[in-house]
Amino acid sequence: MSTARTLAGELGADVPPGVAALPDEAQDRLATLIHQARVRQADALEGAVQEGLGFVPRVLRGTITRIVLR
């Protein structure tokens, strides 16, 4: 896959012209950093959900989990 398509995939949109003008190595690095940030964000969100569920009575956790993670 080309660098531009990889970066566009991470951005979820076309690569802006200013970013497209960067060397391929810089675009690859940017795509990697964006991917890593999304993974960290997903992990933090999962941790927050699990922590929040600790405040929900055990009997309701299954139902609340299905609602929240829908």
Quote the pLDDT of residue 1.
Answer: 59
Give the pLDDT confidence of 34-59 residue by residue, as tens digits. Answer: 999 999 999 999 899 889 888 999 99
Give the pLDDT confidence of 1-33 residue by residue, as tens digits. Answer: 577 678 999 999 999 999 999 999 999 999 999
What's this model's pTM, rounded to 2 decimal places? 0.74
Quote the pLDDT of residue 41.
Answer: 97
Quote the pLDDT of residue 65.
Answer: 85
How many residues would you count in the chain? 70
d(CA 53, CA 60): 9
Greatest Cα pair distance in the chain: 55
